[in-house]
């Protein structure tokens, strides 16, 4: 299907079902959503938006974001979702590079566009809160219906903000997106009785396909928080919405674990001993904590999808022993995005799971000893290419059409995918050993007082950059740093030992999916 066909079908099948809402708002039905989308598409028509034009959306998550998305699709135009966390300079570069003709923008993000609002290319600006134009001429002529594009044409250009620093416009077709949403049902069925709570940016492919297009396709309802999802915002939202499905990045659940579970059971030396050394005690504690955690999430959560980065093994062990319904997914914006994953009943510890039916994933040039190589993929959910970047597009495909993910991984005997890290971040040891900094960082991050870390190679030595939670520490920092070094080096192989620790005063700068921007620190 095209996205327009998907939307029209749902608005017919689920006309009276609740579709979208703020957590503290009144849901609008699919029929009401359809009316709002059609009105907004007429507005775009009066602005001269035609088939193939690019129209940007720059806003936090809200019901009107969804309406704007389908209104753009309804004109046969191409959606350019922009992450609200992007720097103003980056926003303006995206608008210029994409050649966006109009933009839906929230009041508080108008300054991120700056003088570009007077650009000859960007002719119309629309307030997304009320769909009133800020700028641009409107015609009074009747708006002609557009011939809608086939499913093979571009529906969206999503500009990525990765760990390497360069934004690229990923072109996804209607078929890329709708097919990937359909394929995700393999991991968990979704129907009109399901309720999603959305906390990740809609302008990110992960949330857009799996927690927006998929629930719309199945007639489910979606609720949005109107503030950043801090604990004080999230807890009452969970109690009110009582979601059945959610998507998250590891950082969210890792913060919950460290503040609500780990901190309580390592506060005293005796408790810490039992918690860390006596497995039956730890498992009992985790089971009881899981009961409380599931109640906090509203008591009817069936699927908590985690993606975007590797989940810390200590946190994953807690989730398993707590019987929390988490599942792991893996993919990239370039693959629409999901390539492989699991359901809560099939999740494998520190692994991704099986490759989705309908795509092919293999390990390119695997190491004969370890089986680790680059993960490459092929299928109808792989992108059309990078917008206006033919050379860059060619560079990420093999001669026979496989997309190079840049991730290192391997398959086990049960054909489950496991990731080892990024090809660009892997460090080659002095004797040719492959060192994966992410594995060392997960050990460092479990040391008391550590907020986050980054392991780099400097002059042939491994150096750990560490951000500490200074408010919790009451010991001499230099003693703690030396203890950290010993703690890590006792738990890694000889060639992965860290040589020194550098303390950083503030948390590392991150991408919207909360991965550290490594290129800023290398």
253 and 308 share one domain: yes
Report residue 162's pLDDT band, with 50, 70 and 90 as the boundaries: low
Determine the Cα–Cα distance for residues 417 and 375; give it in Å rounded to an integer: 9
188 and 144 share one domain: yes
9 and 125 share one domain: yes
Return the pLDDT at 265.
Answer: 84
Summarize the confidence of residues 499-506 as an average pLDDT.
Answer: 92
- CB burial readout 340-379, b (16+ within 10 A) else e: bbbbbeebeeebbbbbbeebebebeebeeeeebbbbbbbb
Determine the Cα–Cα distance for residues 490 and 488; give it in Å rounded to an integer: 5
Identify whether 369 is part of a domain: no
CATH no. for residue 46?
3.40.50.12780
Summarize the confidence of residues 312-322 as an average pLDDT.
Answer: 95
CB contact set of 466 (below 8 Å; sequence gap of 6+): 444, 450, 452, 453, 481, 484, 501, 502, 503, 504
149 and 14 share one domain: yes
434-435/427-428 β-pairing: antiparallel
CA distances from 322 to 81, 102, 285, 288, 291 (A): 37, 48, 8, 7, 7
Determine the Cα–Cα distance for residues 390 and 70; give it in Å rounded to an integer: 28
The structure's pTM equals 0.89
In 146-272, beta strands by DSSP E: 154-159, 169-173, 195-198, 221-224, 245-248
Host domain of residue 451 = 427-520
Return the pLDDT at 475.
Answer: 65
296 and 253 share one domain: yes
190 touches 215 (CB < 8 A):
yes
132, burial (CB in 10 Å: exposed 0-12, middle 13-18, buried 19+): exposed
CATH no. for residue 472?
3.30.300.30
| Domain-terminating residue out of 204, 222, 240 | 222
- More confident call, 145 vs 423: 423
**Total domain count for the chain?**
3
CB contact set of 73 (below 8 Å; sequence gap of 6+): 2, 3, 4, 7, 79, 155
Question: At 37, phi and psi to the nearest 5?
Answer: -60, -45
| Domain-terminating residue out of 222, 245, 262 | 222
State the Cα angle at 98 between 95 and 104, rounded to 5°: 50
Q: How confident is the model over 370-426, as pLDDT tens digits? A: 999 999 999 999 999 999 999 999 999 999 999 999 999 999 999 999 999 888 888
113 and 169 share one domain: yes
417 and 432 share one domain: no
182 touches 217 (CB < 8 A):
yes
Identify whether 400 is part of a domain: no
186 and 277 share one domain: no
Return the pLDDT at 165.
Answer: 55
Identify whether 214 is part of a domain: yes
Determine the Cα–Cα distance for residues 97 and 93; give it in Å rounded to an integer: 6
Q: How confident is the model over 89-107, as pLDDT tens digits? A: 889 999 999 999 999 999 9
Beta bridge partners of 327: 305
Return the pLDDT at 315.
Answer: 94
437 touches 420 (CB < 8 A):
no
Determine the Cα–Cα distance for residues 326 and 311; give it in Å rounded to an integer: 11
| Domain-terminating residue out of 369, 393, 422 | 422
349 and 218 share one domain: no
Determine the Cα–Cα distance for residues 473 and 200; give it in Å rounded to an integer: 31
Determine the Cα–Cα distance for residues 119 and 102; give it in Å rounded to an integer: 11
175 and 286 share one domain: no
85 and 214 share one domain: yes
> In the predicted model, what is the mean pLDDT of the chain?
92
Return the pLDDT at 166.
Answer: 64
């Amino acid at each position: 299907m095209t996205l327009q066909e998907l939307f029209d079908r749902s608005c017919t099948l689920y006309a009276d079902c609740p579709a979208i809402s703020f957590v503290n708002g009144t849901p609008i039905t699919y029929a009401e959503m359809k009316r709002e989308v059609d009105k907004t598409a007429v507005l775009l028509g009066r602005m001269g938006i035609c088939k193939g034009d690019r129209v940007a959306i720059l806003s936090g998550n809200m019901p009107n974001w969804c309406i704007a998305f389908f209104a753009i699709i309804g004109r046969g135009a191409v959606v350019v979702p922009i992450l609200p966390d992007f720097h103003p300079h980056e926003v303006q570069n995206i608008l210029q590079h994409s050649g966006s003709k109009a933009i839906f923008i929230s009041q508080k993000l108008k300054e991120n566009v700056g003088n570009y609002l007077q650009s000859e290319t960007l002719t119309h600006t629309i307030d997304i809160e009320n769909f009133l134009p800020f700028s641009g001429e409107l015609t009074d002529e009747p708006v002609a219906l557009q011939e809608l594009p086939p499913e093979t044409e571009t529906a969206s250009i999503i500009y990525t903000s990765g760990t390497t620093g360069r934004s690229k416009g990923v072109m996804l077709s209607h078929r890329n997106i709708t097919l990937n949403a359909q394929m995700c049902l393999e991991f968990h069925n979704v129907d009109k009785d399901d309720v999603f709570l959305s906390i990740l940016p809609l302008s990110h492919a992960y949330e857009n396909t799996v927690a927006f297009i998929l629930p719309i396709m199945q007639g489910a309802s979606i609720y949005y928080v109107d503030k950043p999802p801090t604990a004080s915002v999230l807890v009452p939202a969970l109690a009110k919405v009582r979601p059945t499905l959610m998507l998250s990045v590891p950082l969210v659940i890792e913060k919950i674990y460290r503040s609500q579970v780990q901190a309580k059971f390592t506060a005293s030396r005796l408790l810490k001993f039992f918690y860390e050394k006596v497995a039956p005690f730890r498992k009992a504690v985790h089971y009881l904590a899981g009961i409380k955690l599931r109640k906090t999430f509203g008591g009817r959560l069936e699927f908590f999808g985690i993606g975007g980065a590797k989940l810390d093994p200590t946190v994953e062990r807690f989730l398993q022993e707590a019987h929390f319904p988490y599942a792991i997914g893996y993919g990239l914006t370039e693959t629409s995005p999901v390539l492989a994953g699991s359901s809560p009943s099939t999740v494998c510890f520190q692994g991704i799971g099986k490759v989705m039916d309908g795509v092919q994933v293999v390990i390119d040039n695997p190491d004969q000893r370890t089986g680790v190589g680059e993960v490459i993929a092929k299928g109808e959910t792989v992108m059309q290419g990078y917008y206006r970047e033919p050379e860059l597009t060619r560079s990420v495909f093999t001669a026979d059409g496989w997309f190079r993910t840049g991730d290192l991984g391997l398959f086990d005997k049960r054909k489950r995918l496991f990731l080892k890290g990024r090809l660009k971040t892997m460090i080659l040891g002095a004797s040719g050993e492959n060192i994966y900094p992410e594995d060392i960082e997960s050990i460092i991050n479990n040391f008391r007082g550590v907020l986050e870390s980054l392991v780099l190679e400097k002059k042939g030595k491994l150096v750990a950059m560490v951000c500490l939670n200074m408010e919790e520490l009451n010991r001499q920092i230099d003693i703690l740093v030396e203890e950290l070094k010993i703690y890590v080096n006792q738990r890694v192989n000889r060639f992965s030992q860290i040589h020194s620790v550098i303390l950083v005063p503030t948390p590392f700068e991150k991408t919207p999916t909360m991965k550290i921007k490594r290129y800023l620190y290398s």
